[in-house]
Homo-oligomer: A and B are copies of this chain.
Amino acid sequence: MLKKLDPLLHSELRLAIMSLLISVEKAEFTYLKEQTEATSGNLSVQITKLEDAGYIFVKKGFKGKIPQTTCNITKKGVEAFEKYVKDLKEYLKL
């Protein structure tokens, strides 16, 4: 039967975040916001969910005097993403 898709990744915005993070070393909140065109609130919530799941690591610091949130994907996150893609291919018969 069809595999159960990871519900944490089967969300448009979270998938976009993970997809962006998988190909870079790290990315800033503002960069993710620009790329995804999400609102800050939505982005903040989804980042927290991915962080809680251990899929990404979030570091809060400052760029000069301005707060700066930086994210990077974890090993667990990469594995989850790859599994999601694999499972999805079964659905789509790719």
**B85 lies within 8 A of A19 (CB):** no
Residue ID in chain B nearest A22 by CB atoms:
B93
**B93 lies within 8 A of A15 (CB):** no
Q: How many residues of A are in contact with the other chain, CB < 8 A? A: 21
CA distance A54 to B10 in the complex (A): 24
Complex interface: chain B residues within 8 A of A4 (CB): 12
Residue ID in chain B nearest A89 by CB atoms:
B94
CA distance A84 to B19 in the complex (A): 16
Evaluate whether A93 and B19 lie within 8 angstroms (CB atoms) in the complex, with A10-B12, A88-B88 already known. Answer: yes
**B15 lies within 8 A of A91 (CB):** yes
**B2 lies within 8 A of A16 (CB):** yes
Additional 6 contacts, C-beta under 8 A, given A2-B35, A2-B36, A5-B12? A1-B37, A2-B19, A10-B12, A15-B91, A16-B91, A19-B92
